Structure 1
Amino acid sequence: MRTRRLKVGGRDAVYHCMTRTVNGELLFKDREKEVLRKMIRQVADFCGVEVLTYCIMSNHFHVLVRVPNVDSVSDVELKRRYKVLYPKPTKYQQATADEMFKLLQSGGEDADAIRRKLLARMGDVSEFMKGVKQRFSVWYNRSHQRYGTLWAERFKSVLVEGAGNPLQTMAAYIDLNPVRAGLVNDPKDYRFCGYAEAVVGEVAAKRGLIRIWSDHGAKRIDSALRVHRRLIFGQRASDVQLSEQARGTALKVLEQEDGCLPKSTILRCRVRYFTDGAILGTAEFVRGFSGTLQAERRLKRAPKAHALKGADWGDLAVIQGLRTRVFG
C-alpha cells in the first residue's frame, strides 16, 4: 500500500518503513551497518524528516520517521540541506552546487525551478526511503565490486498515529528486532538501533525517544529511557523469558488457541500487524482514513478498523485485516 498518498489533515505524519535485501541475503556486517546508519541520518536531514528510532539488521532495516507538515523551506535552509548530502564534494559536485546557489540568489524562473526540484525530494517518506536505498546501493556495489539490484522490493510502510500507545508500541517493536533474532537479550547491547544510541547519549537518538514519550510527561532522556524500558521488559521478568521452546508454545497459544500474552512477551515474536497493517493507531484514527483508502483502492465498501489480537494492546487497531498467520 502506498501510504504516502494518505493525508493527515495538516498534521505531521509518522511512518514505520521496512525494506529487505534481494533474496534476503545476509549482506550487512558491522561496517555496512555503520555506513547505512550514517546515510539514514544524512538523508533524513536533507529531506527534513526526523528519525524517531531505527534498527539495522543483516538483511533488512526498519526506521520510524516523523514527516513534518511544512509548506516551504527558506533558501538558506535549502543550501544547508544540499550540503548535508555532499560533505566532501568532488570538483564537479562543488561546481554544480556553486552554480545552483548562484541561481537561487539571482531569483527569477530559474531559481523557482531549482526550489521546486529540491522541495520535491523533501517532506515525503517515499523520497526519503528512495534516497537512502539508492545512495547505499551505489556505495555497497562500489565497495564490494558488485553489480545489480541490492534491495528486494519497494519498501513496506505503515502509517502510525504519532502519539501515545501506537507510537510507543511501534518504537518498542522496532528496537526489539535484535532480541527477536537472538543476537542480544537486551536491545541496549545492539549498537545499530535507536534505543542503544539513546542509552549511550547520541543526541538525535535521545531527541527521538523523548518525542516518542513526550505525551507521557518525558521531558528528559532519563525518564524517556525508564518508561521505554518498562514497555520493552514488562512489569515482571517472567513476562519476557522466551526460549525457542517457549516461543513455540507462545505461538501455539496465539495462533491455535486464540490466546493472550503479555505485551512485552508478544513483542518478542514477529507481529505482522506492525509491517503489514497499513495503518496503526486508535480505532478512531484508523477509521479516519477509511474513505481515503476506499477511494485509492477503488473498493466497494470502506475498510474497517481491526482490533489487534494476542495481547492487551490497549486501544490499538489496524486497517489491513490479516487473514494469514499474524505471529511468527
Structure 2
Amino acid sequence: MRRRRFKEQENTAYYHLMSRTVNGEAWFGGREREVLRKIIWQVAEFSGVRVITYAVMKNHFHLFVEVPGERSVSDEELVRRYRILYPRPTAWQPMSADVLAEHLASGSSEGRDLRKALLGRMHDISYLMKTLKQRFSIWFNGSRERFGPVWADRFKSVLVEGDRWALRTVAAYIDLNAVRAGLVKDPKDYRFCGYGEAVGGGRLARAGLSIVDSDLAGYRQTLYGTGAGAREEKVSLSREEAVRVLMKEKGKLPLSVVLRCRVRYFTDGMVLGSPDFVNERIQSEEGAEKRSRKAHAMLGSDWGGLAVGTGLRKALFR
C-alpha cells in the first residue's frame, strides 16, 4: 500500500511511528533493546526532534515524537548535532565534526552543500526512521556476523493532534506495550520504555513526558485509570475477555482496560485527534479530492471524543 504523505507541517507536528522486524522475528534481547534505546535518543537529537516516549520490544519498537515547526539551525548547532551522531570518523562517514565546522565557516560552495545535505536529514520523520534503522542494522548484523535486512520495508506512522488528551492517550498506549505483552505488570518496571526510563530518573525521558503531563503521577492515572498511587490496581478483565466484549458484543470498556489490548487505531488510523483536526488533515492529503473520506469516531471505550482517519472495521482489537 502506498504510504500516505501529508503536506509539510508549518507548525509543530506529532507522530506515532512503529517499525517491526522482518517476519516479526523476536531477535531483541536485553542487549539489543538497550542498544536500540540509546540509538533512538542519539538519532532524535541529531534530527532535531523531541522524543515524547518510546517502547522497544522483542520484535518492534514504537516512537512518539514532536517535530518542530521552526526549521532554522545555526552552524554551531549543526556541528553539535553532527558530533552527536558521528563522534569520530567512520568508514561510512569519514569527515570529522571539526572538518565540517571548517567547511561551514569558510562559506565555500562545499560548505553550503554540506549544510543543505545535513539539514535535509533533519526535522523529517522519514530520515529519522531511515537513519535510526540503518544505524541499528549495522550494529546488529555486525554483532551477529550476519547479512540481510533486519527491518520490514515500511514503517507505520500516525499524525496526532497536538491536543493534551490526544497526546496523553497515544503515549499511554505506547508505554503499556510491555504490560500488554505480559513482560511486566507495571510499566515503570520496564526499562525500555519512556515511562520506565522517566521513573528511573532519565532526564530526557522526563522532559518528553512533560509534554503530555507536567507530573508523572498525573500521567500514571492515565495509564491505570485510577489514583496515581494505586500500583495494586488490577485490570478486571483478561485481554481475551476484553476483545470478546469489544468485538462480539460491541460493548464498551474502561479506557485503562482497552489500552491493554492491541488497538489498530494507534498504528493504522492515519490521523488521530478531534474530528475537526482529522477532517482537516484528510482534506490536505495528496489526492484527497479523489476519495470520499471523513473522520471516524473511535469505538470500544470513552476516548474523549477522539477520531481517526480510517474506519478499520475489521480486526480493530487484537
In which range does the TM-score fall when normalised by the shorter chain? over 0.9
Residues 95 and 65 of structure 1: CA distance in aligned 2, closer, same or farther (over 3 Å): closer
Once residues 16 and 207 of structure 2 are traced to their aligned partners in structure 1, the CA distance between those partners, rounded to angstroms, is 17
- 2:223 is aligned with 1:232: yes
Once residues 157 and 95 of structure 1 are traced to their aligned partners in structure 2, the CA distance between those partners, rounded to angstroms, is 32
Q: SS state of the match for residue 317, structure 2?
A: coil
Offset, 1:90: 4.5
5+ residue gaps in structure 1?
219-223
Q: SS state of the match for residue 212, structure 1?
A: coil
**Number of positions where the alignment pairs a residue of Structure 1 with one of Structure 2:** 314
* Structure 1 partner of 2:293: 303
- 2:250 is aligned with 1:258: yes
Offset, 1:91: 8.9
Once residues 233 and 304 of structure 2 are traced to their aligned partners in structure 1, the CA distance between those partners, rounded to angstroms, is 17
Once residues 239 and 325 of structure 1 are traced to their aligned partners in structure 2, the CA distance between those partners, rounded to angstroms, is 28
Offset, 1:3: 5.2
- Normalising by structure 2, report the TM-score: 0.93
Offset, 1:301: 3.6
- 2:108 is aligned with 1:116: no
Contact 1:165-1:315 at 8 Å conserved across structures: no
- Normalising by structure 1, report the TM-score: 0.91
Offset, 1:266: 0.5
5+ residue gaps in structure 2?
none
Offset, 1:67: 0.5
Contact 2:88-2:96 at 8 Å conserved across structures: no
2:262 aligned to 248, 265, 270, which one?
A: 270
Greater Cα offset, 228-237 or 156-165 = 228-237
Offset, 1:4: 4.9
Amino acid in structure 2 at the alignment position of 1:131: T
Amino acid in structure 2 at the alignment position of 1:226: A
Once residues 3 and 65 of structure 1 are traced to their aligned partners in structure 2, the CA distance between those partners, rounded to angstroms, is 18
Once residues 286 and 166 of structure 1 are traced to their aligned partners in structure 2, the CA distance between those partners, rounded to angstroms, is 12
Amino acid in structure 2 at the alignment position of 1:306: H
Offset, 1:234: 1.1
Greater Cα offset, 91-100 or 197-206 = 91-100
- 2:164 is aligned with 1:172: no
Once residues 280 and 152 of structure 1 are traced to their aligned partners in structure 2, the CA distance between those partners, rounded to angstroms, is 24
Residues 242 and 33 of structure 1: CA distance in aligned 2, closer, same or farther (over 3 Å): farther
Q: Deviations over 1:226-278 (max 9, x none)?
A: 111111111387985256xx322211110111100000000001100000000
Once residues 155 and 91 of structure 1 are traced to their aligned partners in structure 2, the CA distance between those partners, rounded to angstroms, is 27
Q: Deviations over 1:193-244 (max 9, x none)?
A: 000111011000000111112xxxx2xxxxx21111111111387985256x
Once residues 130 and 114 of structure 2 are traced to their aligned partners in structure 1, the CA distance between those partners, rounded to angstroms, is 20
Contact 1:251-1:327 at 8 Å conserved across structures: yes
Kindly report the root-mean-square deviation, in angstroms, between the aligned alpha carbons of the 2 structures. 2.0
Q: SS state of the match for residue 81, structure 2?
A: helix
Q: SS state of the match for residue 288, structure 1?
A: helix
Offset, 1:40: 0.4
Offset, 1:292: 1.6
